[in-house]
Structure 1
Amino acid sequence: MQPNFSHLNLKQKTADVFKTVFPSRGEEFLVFSGFTLLYGILATKIALGYTIIFDNRIPWDAYFSFDNRAIVMTGGGFERHPLSNYFFGWIREFALLVSGGKMDANFRLALAWFSVVTVSLSLVQIYKYLRNITRLPIWLSYLIVIFFSLFSTNILLSFTPETYTYTLFFLCLFNYYAALKLRKEEKISMLALTAGTVAVGGLTVTNAVKVFIPVLFEKEVFKNFKNFGNAVLRGIVAVAVFGLLFMYRLNFDYMKFLSKTGEQYEKFSKPKVTPLWDMVASWFFGGNVLFSNFITRDYHNRKGFEYKALFMDVYSSWFPYIFIGVLVALVIWAYIKNFKNKLVQILMISFAVDIIIHCILKFGLHTSYIYGGHFVFVYPLLLGWLCYSYRNSPKKFSAILILVTTMTVYLGINNFIRLEEFFSFLNAYYQK
């Protein structure tokens, strides 16, 4: 009897997918379980003790401009989140199943734990990249992951049901997958490219372009007509599938998308009183890493219900600016040092997409501290590449290590203190 090779091949590919997505070694399970426990404690406390994660009366902006209720109930606006209504429909229905159909504390807890697991899996992807792609030792990979885990973006998204939570995971996963393929000089499969476009672009449409960046660095893609044609074909299929799914949601009324997109750009790109440089420093580069001061504002839901909302202010001392300046300098240093490394180029081009959208076009710059899920994973990966490039230079490596360790301590202290301020806000306005 001949073996069924197609069955064996499918079984192997399925196993490879699970091995890529989930922890597959003891050290990876330690990362996942450790952060699931820590984030889980935080998320459980907030979900059971307070109503801020989901309150059916509050449509948006209860904290840091997250649109929790709108995202959970509808997936958000189609013009920015074209396919997220399907994704969050599944999550909402499962949470309702857990809570017995009630939007109560158990409903909030289910939503929060989806976020806990997703952010923890994102950290696993970062760890896998540092270990398997950058080839850093276990202890150094742990240090960089701990540093990354303390970012304000990860802390907030670990209990927040939002598109950014899942975008962070999908982008971390796809970058790791693409790096594995490129390191082996293999092509990114049509299925993976299509799935990545639907998952990443479906949650936030502008991120779809990031899925195609690694294709530009495949072996001889611009030197061989066959390779170029194959890359174009894969791109066309991915865009076509994504476009058809999107148009199906809109009943193929593409003018509705164009007009709504124009409205959104006008709404979210208006200049603010805050100087441009400070919005870029405090909110785009800084707010996704290091919590700044908080300010409280009065809001209402247009139906008579009034509530308090929390936002980030700009930094009030020089220490945070110095911290962010050093971090950005390390990222630039890593890029220059590894300029010829195509995997580093992919990360920086991806980062440049967000810099153009938010810092140059000014879309959402005044609340850019919520967009970290789109790009903040670049920081730990480039720090990993910087450490790798000086692995044979003991003095410089030690200097970088001391700097990163010091920054980790400062980041942890600052964000812990700010988190206490966040709980003071919850105790004042959002207790059950």
Structure 2
Amino acid sequence: MYNVDSSNVKSIFSINRASAFQVFYSLVPSHLAERCLLFCSWFVYFVLGSYIALSTSIIDTKETNDMYLSFDNSTTLYFGSVEKPTHPLTKFFYLPFSLLHDLFVKYGINEKYFSLIVLLFCSFFVAASVFFCFKYVQNIVKIDIWPALLISVFYSVFGGCIILSFTPETFTFSLFLLSLSVYVVSFILIVNQKPSIWYYIVFGTLIGGQTVTNAPKVAIPLLYEKSSFRQKIVKFIIVVFCISAMILMRYKFDLLSFFMLIWRGQVNIPVQIFLCGIHLFLIFSVAMYLFLR
């Protein structure tokens, strides 16, 4: 009979506290260039967004679909998301904003103030993404501070960053989470550590819950881990489980009804979910090739 090695199970779920604190402190701006980049980009994004919000009705309008560049601001901000399979947890991420908006409406407060609060967070998410880009280029790629700063500033003026800085959409939060996860896992790997299973659970849930098709990106570090193949398989299965659970939780895990709705064409399962499965399969195939050859 096969016996499960309890030490392997514990090692998978264990957390290196020293490494965790090291990662946490690495996320804090440590010198003047990092502080200037973070707060200056945050300030510039917020000023730009404030001008747009106060002079237009981009944020506080109640139009539900395709406001500009195919963004669904009000659908995301006020209603969570209508696409249950692709954005399963977006409604919960934006629930505080929905509740805050209800308070503004209840007490008759000008909704422009609500727009400014939303902009404060949107601009911070994009500014933090620029900051993580700088940290990655400097600490992971090992580029000198001035070229790294130049690359980060160049990245900050991309059209996508500028638009997302005043756009309360799933892309804004996804940009922040993906930038954070890439830097965190790269930092862990570069100090010769291996990501805990909790990294895959937490970031897999947050990133996949925001946009399901981004969830396979959380599994990519498995290709670079210095751990046993069995542990890689366990972590991969957990990522797949998190994705499946997030999709099905919006349907109360009623598998029969869920698949019947798909069969009848009443649930729109877009091509993105199929591509998500393809991505996971490709990552798994590459992992099998690298670690079994």
Query: How far, CA to CA, are the matches of 1:97 and 1:18 in structure 2?
Result: 34
Q: In the alignment, residue 230 of structure 2 is paired with which amino acid?
A: G
2:217 paired residue among 199, 210, 214:
210
TM-score by length of 2: 0.77
Q: In the alignment, residue 78 of structure 2 is paired with which amino acid?
A: M
Percentage of identical aligned residues? 32
Query: How far, CA to CA, are the matches of 1:46 and 1:22 in structure 2?
Result: 30
Unaligned 5+ segments in structure 2 are 1-15, 283-293
CA deviations 1:87-136 (Å, max 9, x no partner) are 01123334555785757111111111110000000001000001100111
- Using the TM superposition, name which of 27-36 and 155-164 deviates more: 27-36
Q: Are the counterparts in 2 of residues 54 and 68 from structure 1 also a CA contact under 8 Å?
A: no
For 1:184-203, what aligned pairs fall within 5 Å after superposition?
184-203=191-210
Query: How far, CA to CA, are the matches of 1:163 and 1:103 in structure 2?
Result: 25
Are 1:243 and 2:244 counterparts?
yes
Residue 70 of structure 2 is matched in structure 1 by: 65
Q: Are the counterparts in 2 of residues 82 and 202 from structure 1 also a CA contact under 8 Å?
A: yes
Instruction: Call closer, same or farther: CA 1:158–1:265 in 2, change over 3 Å.
Output: same
Query: How far, CA to CA, are the matches of 1:97 and 1:62 in structure 2?
Result: 24
Q: How many residues align?
A: 257
TM-score by length of 1: 0.54
Are 1:23 and 2:25 counterparts?
no
The structural deviation recorded for 1:214 is: 1.1
Are 1:256 and 2:253 counterparts?
no
Query: How far, CA to CA, are the matches of 1:113 and 1:153 in structure 2?
Result: 17
Are 1:55 and 2:28 counterparts?
no
Q: Are the counterparts in 2 of residues 84 and 202 from structure 1 also a CA contact under 8 Å?
A: yes
Q: In the alignment, residue 51 of structure 2 is paired with which amino acid?
A: K
Secondary structure of the corresponding residue to residue 166 of structure 2:
coil
The structural deviation recorded for 1:21 is: 3.9
Q: Are the counterparts in 2 of residues 167 and 200 from structure 1 also a CA contact under 8 Å?
A: yes
Query: How far, CA to CA, are the matches of 1:23 and 1:147 in structure 2?
Result: 19
Residue 159 of structure 1 is matched in structure 2 by: 166
Q: Are the counterparts in 2 of residues 60 and 70 from structure 1 also a CA contact under 8 Å?
A: yes
The structural deviation recorded for 1:228 is: 1.2
Secondary structure of the corresponding residue to residue 263 of structure 1:
coil
Query: How far, CA to CA, are the matches of 2:165 and 2:188 in structure 1?
Result: 29
Q: In the alignment, residue 256 of structure 1 is paired with which amino acid?
A: F
The structural deviation recorded for 1:162 is: 0.4
Query: How far, CA to CA, are the matches of 2:79 and 2:137 in structure 1?
Result: 36
Unaligned 5+ segments in structure 1 are 1-8, 222-226, 268-349, 357-432
Residue 155 of structure 2 is matched in structure 1 by: 148
Q: In the alignment, residue 239 of structure 1 is paired with which amino acid?
A: V
Secondary structure of the corresponding residue to residue 168 of structure 2:
coil
Query: How far, CA to CA, are the matches of 2:244 and 2:269 in structure 1?
Result: 20
CA deviations 1:382-421 (Å, max 9, x no partner) are xxxxxxxxxxxxxxxxxxxxxxxxxxxxxxxxxxxxxxxx
Are 1:33 and 2:39 counterparts?
yes
Q: Which consecutive segments of 4 or more residues in structure 1 shift more than 6 A? A: none
